């Protein structure tokens, strides 16, 4: 009964805990650490770069606890869109959820484009004669291929994701094993002079750059929250998947970072003509086990890159769907494929932005794309969600909360400070690129787009505020319908009122 209802009006809850954790970990790990270890070393100027991964883990866990409470309480398609809609509707109508969708249509596919950039970098290890033009064509072909793979039903995608997750785990484990069979503690733990000089401004500039790279590597712990309407028992599954994936990836990253620094001289990672700069994992395998092993594991790394792009675009393409269905974004984005039940226009739009981001990164550098996507994300998603937890506790005290943040409000304070450091140092860490100015310009354009949209739809400030309280009735959470079936549809069952 519930499944038939979901097929008629929206998504189906078919993704369990193991598949949800695999989705998160595939997106979190992916190609990220394989391409950012040299960037982290450059930011810190030595093997003390492991500090960046530790700082990123702390920020990811603090922010992940925020996602866990919001995702368990408001398990709808679109993640942050739902949370910001519920929290800020009382004062600014639909402005905040609209701005989130506007910015997400940029920062989510930009994040996926870094995976494609990493794919082409590692392909260069197997194909050293590849020209820049050929690399561009390969990246565009990968982008199109991922969109084609996602052109199917979600339950088939979930099974495919588990296979890709297995490949990801295998590639990471092999690189870590190779590193520790030829590990040199002296190489890994010999730091340059003044490496931890906390009173020096350059340390904090490097720390901010390292924190930005670190949190980029952890991004993806929220993938299942974007797919809240497709998760079974979301009140339990979403928090567990978020926390388990962060802790698991933290252990993997530390082993990978320390192991790599124990095999490869960190100065080689700063040489743009060195394999250690573009394909550091392949360099580890070649030095430890020889060229044949390096080639084989590089193939697994390429598959891992595809897996991260695949799962990120899967979750991200759901973001504009619920907004459009709830009349908070452009209406064509609210249409599902009539047979396979996935959001067509969201997938195609993000695929196009991902292709553009790939080409931009190829002709600038990877660090630029990371700075751009994080600054845009911080303004409307990260900082707003820190506030949303407190606002919802005050505005909707009766909201069912299967999970509540541990030690609240400490994680919110830690997350707030971390995001402010990333944003405040963005221009200094990207000289000449102006990520802060670009992020403000993009949000400003979003405000103009919202006003035009609101006038057309006769929404606030050109019409009444429409207060939505559907989650107060428990719709979409771990409720049970007559006959023992879980509730499926996340929105549409509650009350919506207009206030002047």
Strand, coil or helix: what is 482? coil
Contact 150, 347 (CB under 8 A): yes
Q: What is the DSSP string of 438-465?
A: HHHHHHHHHHHHHHHHHHHHT-TTSS-E
pLDDT at 494 > cutoff 70: no
pLDDT at 493 > cutoff 50: no
Average pLDDT score, the chain: 85
Strand, coil or helix: what is 212? helix
pLDDT at 275 > cutoff 80: yes
CA distance 402 to 400: 6
**Domain boundary assignment for the chain:** 16-469
CA distance 246 to 241: 9
- The whole-number pLDDT of residue 11 equals 61
pLDDT at 491 > cutoff 70: no
Question: Which DSSP symbol is given to 232?
Answer: S
Question: Superfamily assignment of 16-469 in CATH?
Answer: Amino acid/polyamine transporter I (1.20.1740.10)
CA distance 408 to 394: 14
Percent of the chain with pLDDT over 70: 89
- The whole-number pLDDT of residue 227 equals 79
Tokens of 398: 């009766």
β-pair partners for 77? 227
- The whole-number pLDDT of residue 342 equals 76
CA distance 305 to 114: 9
- The whole-number pLDDT of residue 485 equals 33
The model's pLDDT over 390-421, given as tens digits with 9 standing for 90+, comes to: 999 999 998 999 999 989 999 999 999 999 99
Contact 443, 103 (CB under 8 A): yes
CA distance 353 to 110: 7
Contact 193, 410 (CB under 8 A): no
First to last CA, the chain: 39
- Classify residue 482 as left (phi > 0), alpha (psi -120 to 50) or beta: beta
CA distance 454 to 327: 10
Q: Which of 177-186, 198-207, 345-354 has the lowest mean pLDDT?
A: 198-207
Between 223 and 277, residue with greater pLDDT: 277
pLDDT at 325 > cutoff 90: no
Please report, for residues 23, 30, 328, the alpha-carbon distance to residue 377 in angstroms, rounded to integers and kept in the order given.
21, 20, 19
Please report, for residues 161, 162, 237, 256, the alpha-carbon distance to residue 18 in angstroms, rounded to integers and kept in the order given.
11, 9, 9, 23
Contacts of 413 (CB under 8 A, 6+ apart): none
pLDDT at 81 > cutoff 90: no
Strand, coil or helix: what is 200? coil
Closest CA to 303 of 26, 4, 3: 26
- The whole-number pLDDT of residue 470 equals 76
Contact 43, 210 (CB under 8 A): yes
Contact 38, 280 (CB under 8 A): yes
Query: What is the value of pTM for the model shown?
Result: 0.85
Strand, coil or helix: what is 257? helix
pLDDT at 337 > cutoff 80: no
pLDDT at 6 > cutoff 50: no
Between 41 and 193, residue with greater pLDDT: 41
As a whole number, mean pLDDT of residues 27-36 equals 83
CA distance 400 to 224: 19
- The whole-number pLDDT of residue 497 equals 39
CA distance 472 to 287: 58
């Amino acid at each position: 009964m519930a499944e038939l209802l979901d097929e008629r009006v929206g998504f189906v809850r078919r993704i369990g805990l193991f598949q949800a954790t695999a989705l998160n970990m595939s997106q979190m790990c992916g190609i990220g650490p394989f391409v950012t270890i040299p960037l982290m070393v450059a930011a810190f100027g030595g093997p003390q770069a492991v500090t960046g991964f530790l700082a990123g883990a702390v920020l990811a866990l603090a922010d992940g606890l925020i996602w866990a409470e919001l995702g368990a309480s408001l398990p709808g398609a679109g993640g942050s869109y739902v949370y910001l809609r519920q929290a800020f509707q009382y004062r600014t109508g639909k402005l905040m959820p609209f701005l989130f969708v506007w910015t997400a249509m940029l920062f989510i596919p930009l994040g996926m484009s870094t995976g494609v950039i990493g794919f082409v970098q590692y392909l260069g290890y197997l194909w050293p004669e590849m020209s820049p033009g050929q690399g561009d064509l390969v990246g565009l072909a990968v982008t199109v291929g991922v969109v084609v793979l996602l052109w199917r039903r979600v339950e088939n995608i979930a099974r495919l994701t588990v296979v890709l997750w297995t490949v990801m785990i295998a590639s990471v484990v092999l690189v870590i094993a190779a590193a520790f069979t030829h590990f040199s503690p002296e190489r890994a733990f010999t730091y340059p002079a003044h490496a931890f000089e906390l009173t020096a401004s350059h340390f904090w500039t490097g720390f901010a750059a390292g924190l930005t790279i670190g949190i980029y590597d952890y991004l993806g712990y929220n993938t299942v929250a974007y797919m809240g309407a497709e998760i079974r028992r979301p009140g339990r599954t979403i928090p567990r998947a978020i926390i388990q994936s962060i802790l698991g990836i933290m252990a993997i990253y530390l082993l990978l970072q320390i192991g790599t620094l124990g095999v490869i001289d960190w100065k080689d990672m700063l040489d743009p003509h060195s394999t250690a700069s573009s394909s550091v994992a392949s360099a580890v395998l070649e030095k430890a086990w020889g060229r044949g092993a390096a080639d084989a594991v590089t193939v697994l790394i390429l598959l891992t890159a595809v897996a991260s792009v695949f799962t990120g675009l899967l979750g991200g393409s759901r973001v504009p769907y619920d907004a459009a269905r709830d009349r908070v974004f452009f209406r064509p984005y609210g249409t599902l494929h009539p047979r396979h039940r996935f959001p067509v226009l969201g997938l195609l739009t993000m695929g196009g932005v991902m292709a553009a981001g790939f080409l931009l990164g190829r002709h600038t550098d990877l660090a630029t794309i990371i700075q751009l996507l994080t600054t845009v994300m911080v303004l409307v998603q990260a900082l707003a969600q820190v506030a949303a937890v407190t606002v919802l506790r005050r505005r909707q005290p009766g909201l069912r909360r299967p999970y509540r943040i541990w030690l609240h409000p400490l994680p919110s304070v830690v997350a707030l400070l971390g995001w402010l450091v990333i944003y405040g140092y963005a221009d200094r860490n990207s000289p000449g690129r102006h990520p802060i100015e670009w992020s403000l310009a993009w949000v400003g354009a979003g405000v103009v787009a919202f006003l035009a949209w609101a006038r057309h739809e006769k929404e606030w400030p050109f019409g009444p505020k429409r207060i939505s309280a559907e989650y107060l009735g428990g719709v979409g959470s771990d409720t049970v319908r007559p006959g023992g079936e879980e509730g499926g549809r996340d929105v549409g069952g509650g009350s919506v009122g207009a206030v002047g």
